[in-house]
Amino acid sequence: MTTYEETVAGQDASGATPTREKSRRKRKWRSALTAYAFLTPWLLGLVVITLGPMLFSLYLAFTRYDLLSPPKWVGLANFRRMFGADPRFWQSVRVTLTFVLVSVPLVLIVSLLLALFLNRGIRLLGIYRTLFYVPSLIGSSVAIAILWKQVFGTFGIVNRALEVVGLHHGSWVGNPGTALYSIIGLNLWAFGSTMIIFLAGLRQVPANLYEAASVDGAHVFQRFWHITLPQLTPLIFFNVLLDTVHAFQAFTGAYVVSGGSGGPSDSLLFYTLYLYQKGFVEFQMGYAAAMAWLLLAALAVFTAIAFSTARFWVHYGDEA
Amino acid sequence: MRPRETARRLLGLTAGLTVAVVTVAGCNGTSQGGSTQGQGGKGAAHGAIDYAWWGGASRNEKTNAVISLYKKAHPKVKIDGQSSDFDAYWEKLNVEAAGKNLPCVPQMQARELNDYTKRHTLMPLDKMVKSGAIDVSGIPKNVLDTGRGTDGKLYMIPYGAAYDGIMYNKTIVTKAGLPTPPTNFTWDWYTNWLTQAKAKLPKGVAASNLDGGNADVFISYTQSQGASLFKGDKLGFSKSMLAAYWNMWEKLRKSGATISAAAQADQGTDTPLEQSFMAQGKVMSATTPGNALEDAQNAINGVKGGKLAITTHPFGSSGLGNVLITSGLSISANCENVPTAASFINFFTNDAKGAHAFSSDNGAVTVTKLLDAQINDPKTTPEKKEELEVYNEIVDHKAPVIVYPSGYTSVFVDAYTRAYQDISFGRKTVAQAVDSFFKEADADLQQG
Amino acid sequence: MSTQTLETRTRTTGIQMMTQPSKSRLVRALARHLVTIVIICFLLYPVAWLVAASFRPDNQVLSTLGLFGRFTLDNYRHGLNPAPSLHFSRFFLNSAVVALLAVIGNVFACTLTAYAFARLDFPFKRVLFAVLMATILLPYHVTLVPQYILFDKLSWLNTYIPLVLPKFLGADAFFIFLNIQFIRALPRELDDSARVDGCNHWQIFRRIIVPLSLPAMGTTAMFTFIASWNDFLGPLLYLSKTQLYTVPLGLNMFIDATGRSSYGSLFAMAVLSLVPLVAFFLAAQRMLTQGITTTGLK
């Protein structure tokens, strides 16, 4: 049986006698053992199905591999080509960065605002929440490309509406200047899943905090700023991190809407779409693996920065 | 267990597994052209084989009908049919090829064939033809030769031959007071036709799609000028020819005869036929696969958009340039039941009842006798008949055999479409786009 | 709705009652509903169009932008029975089996793992956490081929194992991270007081963390169900036999760019395939709405 003191013992090692030291070490062992027991399924999966393929792809990044003949070691050639001799690679970086910078804040702000709006005891909340979520349900289904052309295509509803008010635009999906924004729209359309995480988080804010605040006479905005927002920071952090990572890896929308080509004029050539083209269409798996690990490195830097700033603004309940 | 030891064990395990995966992959690709045993394909058909094809609802129905006819004739054989749509089909096939796990009989298309032959994932079929296991005597030579790899060996038995032609909306043409394309119409006639049409068409209807970015039209153009798309692994046409061709389209686009660049990009290559401008009655003419005629007519009936017709591509100084795009059946190098696979391919290609059931769904049936029977069959729809007659015309004009290098669809077609998009969206001049296209295509074709 | 919502409502209105006259309150409530409904109408137009199109004759499916027109059930009839020997309900059954197993596996593995990371101290914690994050960061396309070869060597092709087993082993690190964030947000005093009462880690996990992180588990379950139900690439690669196909593969059989597609049937079955998703969402939603107050712990 562990006791309350044991859990804090880790932080308070001062003044330990030899016998206490020994029993402490023993407890540490036991705690480690417990932890690894909890971790067993994940570790098993990590070793058997994740790490092997990951390391293999790291090896591939330094080879030329057409999927069917054995990989051939080429050193840094893939990376040199990427940086020096591949304008489409840079185009894919540009497209992806634009997407991340516009789409992530947009989705986060919209979903947080709507989550707050819906959480404030509106009648029919259950129905509204479900309806907001419906777009996320079909977010990746086969029908989506057809639907999206029905909205943003030449004969789509957006165009018809613009024609009614006397503005003519033409296809949004087909125009390289606007195609990316239709994908950003597609992404925003499915903001429901981010909103759900916020809503679930709002549910975890202990009600007594609000009760205390309302006794103190705090108004809506003060309550949001001093109670809701700090309590929500772990999930804001989670959503910022994950939405950014997912935006960097965004694939399906552009793949489906452009029919896999990344067109028109490479305006939808997302990083992972280009990676996919290289690997599975052009059979340059080595190059694709190199691109993947470069992305991983970039995201690792981003994540590390995010975690190191988290100390200053993310409030965890376990830091009591 | 002590944690340090646990960690060490974990590391050991991981390393071991990585090595295992690497070795597994390293073993791949060493075999050349599969097992030598049974390459004659003779022997009784029995046991199970997998057959994979691309297709939608109606083709699946027809294919399944052929499979059950074959099963009736060969009760000891079990055929596992797998279908997916065109894009998903190749995606799956690529991963299966990497795992040396292709279906016994994969459906191939001439344009993609050499991506697979070059990597030795398909079996040469010459011996099976020689032994009589697969009968190809009914297929015209220039059609059969589209199934050859870059090494000259036969890897695919073509069962259906498609082509791209000019589809036009007869109702719109007549209403505008224009002639329909005569036989042997030229590129000049064609562009004049479109230019004239512009002024006479109702609002919201364009004379043509913007097909300058469609590589299959350019093939017809080069061939009709006496050039060829490829010479081995290199481009077979000159920069000036491509520039002249793209300038022709730019003139049409700028005169307003075609739909806009954005509308064309919107249609893309993957847009369902039903959503295309042609099937919606919004263009007078467009390059379209011949076997789409029946479906396009069916779709346009839904909007009461008129009567459609199909003809060849225009003629040039060297005559008709239309090429055939064949689909056919191959045997994978990892197939272990070659006699059955050969017997099935033979049936699919030659059986009269089977051909009747399939009714040239994926291009005209290649065996001449079966084709004639289909054209003369009173039950064949007028659209199908028209499609098959145009096919006959193309074959009679000695459609050239194009050996598509590996990387054709993946590299050449994409780069071509992109280069023309750069022009039509005003991002590059024709000369700049031609230069960068040549650079990219030459480099990548050699890579592929 | 749960009692929680009711509480929130009376609480907020209670405050407002003190400060505002009731007439403007009514107007404001109406305005809020109006705003919500307008946003929803915009959001749901494509979905409504999908549903409406599924009831139109096959050659008019794609040609109208409006929501009304000739009505037919043919698409549903043909879609449910695409070939004489094939019934679409088979795909629904297959998808349901895969998705439910995936949900069970993922919730199980993710909460266990997340508890260890959020609450326990162990050697190599930082390293393992970094590895966990790295597995989220690598695009899945590159591990696809080695994984396929691995599952092939294990003779797991044409079974549901490659689709389900990884969930039981927590291979989807995204959800582990989600649960870690949720659990870390829970006040630690709860565990501590339980420990004072003599609970061990398993008991703390079972009796405190699991009930408290029901919203997190509901979220995990829901996302897993949706992802698994909609997954196309996994089943495409690992399943070749038509009897094993899941719904997305079945839907894919209706369409093809090189021939006639059956958009009517596709849309009809796509609409039907939304039904279990909405149903699962509604079921999981009850878990989501169970806030911390209803557990009676605080």
Dihedral sign computed on CA atoms, order B25, B27, B32, B33: negative
Report pLDDT for C2: 38
| Cα C284 from Cα C8, distance rounded (Å) | 20
Q: Read off the pLDDT of each residue in C53-76 and give the average, rounded to a whole number.
A: 79
Chain C residues close to A245, C-beta within 8 Å:
136-137
Report pLDDT for C258: 73
Q: How confident is the model at residue C208 (pLDDT cuts 50, 70, 90)?
A: confident
- Angstroms from B386 CA to nearest CA on chain A: 30
Residues C13-44: tens digit of each pLDDT:
334 444 445 677 788 888 888 888 998 998 88
Q: Read off the pLDDT of each residue in A165-193 and give the average, rounded to a whole number.
A: 85
Q: Which of A92, A180, A261 to mutate to test the interface with B (most CBs of B within 10 A)?
A: A261
Q: Does A38 touch chain C (CB under 8 A)?
A: yes
* pLDDT surpassing 60 at residue C5: no
Whether B85 sits inside 8 A of C144 (CB atoms) is: no
| Cβ atoms < 10 Å from Cβ of B44 | 11
Report pLDDT for B86: 87
Structure tokens that stand for B128 in this block: 């099976």
Prediction pTM value: 0.85
| Cα A31 from Cα A42, distance rounded (Å) | 18
Q: Does C21 touch chain B (CB under 8 A)?
A: no
Whether A318 sits inside 8 A of C187 (CB atoms) is: yes
DSSP assignment of C194-209? HHHTT--HHHHIIIII
| Cα A166 from Cα B416, distance rounded (Å) | 36
Report pLDDT for B435: 94
For residue C255, what are the contacts with CB-CB under 8 A and spacing of at least 6?
A142, B56, B57, B85, B272, C261, C262, C263, C266
Q: Does B85 touch chain C (CB under 8 A)?
A: yes
| Bigger pLDDT: A141 vs B87 | B87
Q: Which of B55, B61, B302 sits opposite C60 (nearest CB)?
A: B302
Report pLDDT for A121: 64
**Which 80-99 residues of chain C touch chain A by CB within 8 A?**
none
Q: Which of A119, A143, A203 sits opposite C292 (nearest CB)?
A: A203
Q: Read off the pLDDT of each residue in C206-226 and give the average, rounded to a whole number.
A: 87
Report pLDDT for A5: 37
- Angstroms from A215 CA to nearest CA on chain B: 51
Residue A136 CA: distances (Å) to CA of A194, B107, C50, C231: 10, 36, 15, 13
Q: Read off the pLDDT of each residue in C187-200 and give the average, rounded to a whole number.
A: 85
Report pLDDT for B446: 66
Q: Which of B29, B414, B421 sits opposite A264 (nearest CB)?
A: B421
Cis peptide before A87 (omega within 30 of 0): no
Q: How confident is the model at residue A141 (pLDDT cuts 50, 70, 90)?
A: low
Dihedral sign computed on CA atoms, order C154, C160, C161, C167: positive
Query: Rounded to 10 degrees, what is the CA torsion of A34, C126, C165, B96?
Result: -160
| Cα C91 from Cα C251, distance rounded (Å) | 9
Whether A288 sits inside 8 A of C142 (CB atoms) is: yes
* pLDDT surpassing 90 at residue A14: no
Chains meeting A at 3+ CB pairs closer than 8 A? B, C
Report pLDDT for B32: 36
| Cα A101 from Cα A105, distance rounded (Å) | 7
Chain A residues close to B273, C-beta within 8 Å:
none
Q: Read off the pLDDT of each residue in C43-50 and give the average, rounded to a whole number.
A: 87
Report pLDDT for A318: 65
What are the residue ranges in chain B where pLDDT is below 70? 1-41, 269-270, 446-448
Mean pLDDT for chain A?
Answer: 83
Report pLDDT for C191: 84
* pLDDT surpassing 50 at residue A17: yes
For residue A92, what are the contacts with CB-CB under 8 A and spacing of at least 6?
A262, A266, A269, A270, A271, A273, A274
